A and B are shown apart, each in its own frame.
Chain A
Amino acid sequence: MTEFARRNPFWSLVIVVLAAAFLWLIVAPWSPGLEETLGRKRVFLNAIFGGLTLGALYFLVASGFTLIFGLMRNVNLAHGSLYLLGGYLGYTISTATDQWLITFPVVFVLVALVGLLMQHQVFRRMEGEELRQTMVTIGLSVVLADLMLWIWGGQSYTIQSPDWLSGPATLPIVAGVGSNGAPIYMRFPQVRIAILIAAIVIGVGMWIVLTRTRLGMLIRAGVDDREMLAASGVRINYVFLAVFGFGAGLAGIAGMVGGTFQSLSPGEDTRFLLASLVVVIVGGMGSIPGAALGALIIGLVEQIGLVYAPTYSVVFTFLIMAVVLAFRPQGLLGAGR
């Protein structure tokens, strides 16, 4: 960060000014003139927070995707199916047990097992053949989609959030001024706030594991130079297994999160696969901070676009991807290799 600031003093200043203006828009009460040009502040705040939550969900899906790619050079196009599988399993288990919170670790373990199976039985047999692996993942995604349609049918499901998370929470941010002059505080669904916090915790946890532990060191070394790591005596297959399982489990959890605040149906698998592809292309393939940044940008753009230019909201996402590919093909935080 400091190095970036030293090398690009001008752009650093621009970024700081933009961030400050953005924060001011969120915190300060809006004048009538501003409300006239930008619409009501409540709408703006909801778009921002909605974007943050959506970004959190995208981050959960994309971080596993990018980790697997970074380490194994395996573009796992069945990642969306793992997301949907996690969601369906989460729906079935949480409906049967009525235990929303406990379902998360169960889903994580189950989907991670599926991931382990995929890595151990399929991808290990075609190591280094990236194109073949990619084609196999497409095939697997088709098979998994059909199996899920067989089991859960074509209708859509919503996972019920527990009672203690239902209804809105009042945030200490002024959303507007009531007719009597008293400030109106912003209300936002509790369950979405919980999702946002959980994603931040998971993200920080992953960052700590990657930078502070021995496993993280091995993974980072593997991302940088796989052959060298193997040559230095590390059983790299176990590292692969761990990463694949973890990435898959994360996708499963994301499916449960998505099923709680949106819904699950056939087709969601490709939607989230596409979203995570866009996120990692924007953020940089193989980079966890890149996935976080990309998810944040895509989530915010999608929600703000939906509110202020609904007809073109789909375009913005891909426009950003195209711009990033044109000017920084390795992604915003991707290593320039």
Chain B
Amino acid sequence: MDWSRRAVLGVAGATALSTAASAQGQPPIKIGILVALEGAFAAGGADGVRNVELALRQVRNMAGGRRVETIVAPSDTRPDTAVRQARKLIEQDQVDFIIGPLSGSEGIAMRDYAKTIPTKTVINGISGALETTWVDPAPNFFRYNLDGAQWGAGLGTYAMRTKNYRRVASVSADYSFGYTNFLGFAVDYCRAGGTIVQRFWVPLGATDFGGVIAQLPDNIDAIYLGLGGTDAINFLNQWQQAGAGTKIIGGTIMADQTVLTSRGRARNALIGALTSGPLAEDNPDAAWRDYVRAYQEGFPAAQRFASPSLFGVGYYIATLAAIAGLNAVNGDLSDGQQKFRAALSALKLASPLGEITLNENRQATGTVFVNEVAEGPGGTLVNKMVAKTDGVTQTLGMTAEQFRAMGLPSRTTPNDCAALARR
């Protein structure tokens, strides 16, 4: 729906393009922000925009000695929209590089689009499909966040060993990130000896989950809920209406700030839910604390979440990487941005989530936290960190061959749970 996009673009563009051009002789650097502002992750996308703004504000909109301008291009989580908006950023707005996209399938589409613009660079926002940096990666596509499979590390082990959830059924989103995120959990859970009784896949943006809820088997210890944004809120609401029942293990985006802060009964079902992901809100690390404080002081309470959302953190770190890369080359983007890309590949990025490095696929290696939702002060819900795995690689600790042999994330991968347990 093109007409709707124009309105959002106008507002977002006007705020982003705030002040005068360059104080220096050089023209300003233009960054395109590709972010989902419609659909299931609209609230998370808005937090992404805020965090880009925050990161740039912290360097007074200067990087590598040049002024930085941003242009926001809103998408709606659909890959074709993402590419259309990216093309607009490159061709019409003539940005130097793009930060984004937000959602899994968009990321895969952007990997392919990136190959058609070899003199420009794409720094991933927070999209987490495995294929984006695993299958035929683009040389100018960089991802400083972990992918969905990495985000599942440690969750299955914790659910099995500590919580003793021996049998689970899964309900996950039927698209690339849903598969990837589920794979990360399933590999870990199967290795720990758990059994996945049945898998359900629901389309992204589905509204009626009555049929799936009715089909959930009786004899399970927990359900794995691989949904996010409003999909998760809808499911939890309807699950409550239908009488709820078992415990919840959540995918990475299930107990995010966007869901925790939603109004109504979905929240009640969430207490005690386990999730895993790249961040822990109560992480005692000083870098994380400083960042959260900057976020909270940077925006009025009504215009932000209590703590930065996963989507926000992703865009923040992507912007940090862009700034660090620009500083390393002194703002030199000439020669098809070759120096800039070399600098990005070699970065040892100090981020609120610790040091991030990229592998040969330009994919991050980093830490994954397991969190449990608990009731905080004043009836709010907070994530409490319960476990942590450092140095999670793209292949989840397997060799590249083993990982490849398992197959790409799909509705049926990993298909042999028992084999993973034996390994």
Residues of A participating in the B interface, judged by any CB pair closer than 8 Å = 40, 42-43, 45-47, 50, 53-54, 95, 142, 145-146, 149-150, 153-156, 158, 160-161, 166-168, 187-192, 261-263, 265-268, 303, 306-307, 310
**Does more than half of chain B's interface fall in helix, strand or loop, or is it mixed?**
helix
For the complex formed, measure the closest distance between the CB of B389 and the CB atoms of chain A, giving whole angstroms: 32
A189-B241 contact given A160-B264, A263-B234, CB 8 Å threshold = yes
For the complex formed, measure the closest distance between the CB of A164 and the CB atoms of chain B, giving whole angstroms: 13
Neighbouring A residues of B43 by C-beta, 8 Å: 155
Interface mask (B1-17 → A, CB under 8 Å = 1, otherwise 0): 10110011000000000
For the complex formed, measure the closest distance between the CB of B45 and the CB atoms of chain A, giving whole angstroms: 8
Cβ–Cβ contact B211 & A50, under 8 A:
yes
A166-B240 contact given A154-B37, A262-B208, CB 8 Å threshold = yes
Cβ–Cβ contact A156 & B214, under 8 A:
no
Cβ–Cβ contact A46 & B211, under 8 A:
yes
* Residue of chain A at shortest CB distance from B230: A156
A303-B210 contact given A156-B230, A158-B233, A261-B238, CB 8 Å threshold = yes
Cβ–Cβ contact B208 & A145, under 8 A:
no
How far, in angstroms, from A154 to B38 measured CA to CA in the complex?
Answer: 4
**B376 at interface, CB cutoff 8 A:** no
For the complex formed, measure the closest distance between the CB of B402 and the CB atoms of chain A, giving whole angstroms: 31
A42-B214 contact given A54-B208, A146-B4, A158-B234, CB 8 Å threshold = yes
Contacting A47 at CB < 8 Å: which of B40, B205, B214?
B214
For the complex formed, measure the closest distance between the CB of B390 and the CB atoms of chain A, giving whole angstroms: 35
Task: Point out which of B1, B208, B210, B213 has the most chain A C-beta atoms below 10 A from its C-beta.
Answer: B210
Cβ–Cβ contact A192 & B234, under 8 A:
no
**B265 at interface, CB cutoff 8 A:** yes
Contacting B241 at CB < 8 Å: which of A42, A153, A190, A307?
A190
Cβ–Cβ contact A168 & B237, under 8 A:
no
Contacting B210 at CB < 8 Å: which of A46, A155, A166, A190?
A46
Neighbouring B residues of A189 by C-beta, 8 Å: 210, 238, 241-242
Neighbouring B residues of A303 by C-beta, 8 Å: 210-211
Contacting A149 at CB < 8 Å: which of B7, B230, B264?
B7
Cβ–Cβ contact A154 & B265, under 8 A:
no
A262-B207 contact given A153-B42, A154-B8, A154-B39, CB 8 Å threshold = yes
Neighbouring B residues of A45 by C-beta, 8 Å: 214
How far, in angstroms, from A167 to B211 measured CA to CA in the complex?
Answer: 16
Chain B interfacial residues counted at CB < 8 A: 35
Cβ–Cβ contact B211 & A156, under 8 A:
no
Give the 9 A-B CB pairs with smallest separation, nearest first: A46-B214, A154-B38, A189-B241, A262-B207, A155-B42, A168-B243, A156-B230, A154-B42, A50-B210
How far, in angstroms, from A306 to B240 measured CA to CA in the complex?
Answer: 21
A145-B242 contact given A154-B8, A154-B39, CB 8 Å threshold = no
Task: Point out which of B37, B42, B207, B213 has the most chain A C-beta atoms below 10 A from its C-beta.
Answer: B207
Inter-chain pairs besides A154-B38, A156-B42, 12 sampled, C-beta below 8 Å: A45-B214, A46-B213, A145-B1, A146-B3, A154-B4, A154-B74, A158-B266, A160-B265, A189-B210, A266-B4, A303-B211, A310-B201
How far, in angstroms, from A191 to B214 measured CA to CA in the complex?
Answer: 16
Sample of 19 A–B contacts (CB below 8 Å)? A42-B214, A46-B210, A46-B214, A142-B3, A149-B8, A150-B7, A153-B42, A154-B39, A154-B76, A156-B230, A168-B243, A188-B242, A189-B242, A192-B241, A262-B207, A262-B234, A268-B207, A303-B210, A306-B211
Neighbouring A residues of B42 by C-beta, 8 Å: 153-156
How far, in angstroms, from A303 to B210 measured CA to CA in the complex?
Answer: 9
Neighbouring B residues of A155 by C-beta, 8 Å: 42-43, 230
A166-B7 contact given A158-B233, A262-B208, A303-B211, CB 8 Å threshold = no
For the complex formed, measure the closest distance between the CB of B257 and the CB atoms of chain A, giving whole angstroms: 13
* Residue of chain B at shortest CB distance from A258: B207
A160-B263 contact given A142-B3, A149-B8, A154-B8, CB 8 Å threshold = yes
Could you tell me which residues of chain B, from 229 to 266, have a CB within 8 Å of some CB in chain A?
A: 230, 233-234, 237-238, 240-243, 263-266
Neighbouring A residues of B39 by C-beta, 8 Å: 154, 265
Cβ–Cβ contact A158 & B40, under 8 A:
no
Cβ–Cβ contact A266 & B234, under 8 A:
no
**B215 at interface, CB cutoff 8 A:** yes
Neighbouring A residues of B205 by C-beta, 8 Å: 265
For the complex formed, measure the closest distance between the CB of B124 and the CB atoms of chain A, giving whole angstroms: 22
* Residue of chain B at shortest CB distance from A165: B241
A156-B208 contact given A149-B8, A166-B241, A263-B234, CB 8 Å threshold = no
Neighbouring A residues of B230 by C-beta, 8 Å: 155-156, 158, 263, 265
Neighbouring B residues of A154 by C-beta, 8 Å: 4, 8, 37-39, 42, 74, 76
Could you tell me which residues of chain B, from 17 to 48, have a CB within 8 Å of some CB in chain A?
A: 37-40, 42-43
Could you tell me which residues of chain B, from 280 to 332, have a CB within 8 Å of some CB in chain A?
A: none
How far, in angstroms, from A319 to B241 measured CA to CA in the complex?
Answer: 32
For the complex formed, measure the closest distance between the CB of B53 and the CB atoms of chain A, giving whole angstroms: 18
For the complex formed, measure the closest distance between the CB of B76 and the CB atoms of chain A, giving whole angstroms: 7
Neighbouring A residues of B264 by C-beta, 8 Å: 158, 160
Interface mask (B382-409 → A, CB under 8 Å = 1, otherwise 0): 0000000000000000000000000000
How far, in angstroms, from A161 to B3 measured CA to CA in the complex?
Answer: 33
Neighbouring B residues of A150 by C-beta, 8 Å: 7
Neighbouring A residues of B7 by C-beta, 8 Å: 146, 149-150
* Residue of chain B at shortest CB distance from A95: B263
For the complex formed, measure the closest distance between the CB of A30 and the CB atoms of chain B, giving whole angstroms: 15
Cβ–Cβ contact A168 & B208, under 8 A:
no
* Residue of chain B at shortest CB distance from A267: B1
* Residue of chain A at shortest CB distance from B209: A262
Neighbouring B residues of A142 by C-beta, 8 Å: 3
How far, in angstroms, from A95 to B262 measured CA to CA in the complex?
Answer: 13
Cβ–Cβ contact A168 & B241, under 8 A:
yes
How far, in angstroms, from A149 to B266 measured CA to CA in the complex?
Answer: 25
* Residue of chain B at shortest CB distance from A169: B243
A156-B40 contact given A142-B3, A265-B230, CB 8 Å threshold = yes
How far, in angstroms, from A50 to B215 measured CA to CA in the complex?
Answer: 13
How far, in angstroms, from A208 to B234 measured CA to CA in the complex?
Answer: 36
Cβ–Cβ contact A50 & B208, under 8 A:
yes
How far, in angstroms, from A50 to B242 measured CA to CA in the complex?
Answer: 12
For the complex formed, measure the closest distance between the CB of A55 and the CB atoms of chain B, giving whole angstroms: 12
* Residue of chain A at shortest CB distance from B202: A310
* Residue of chain A at shortest CB distance from B6: A146
How far, in angstroms, from A307 to B213 measured CA to CA in the complex?
Answer: 11
For the complex formed, measure the closest distance between the CB of A127 and the CB atoms of chain B, giving whole angstroms: 29
* Residue of chain A at shortest CB distance from B41: A155
Neighbouring B residues of A40 by C-beta, 8 Å: 215
Neighbouring A residues of B201 by C-beta, 8 Å: 310
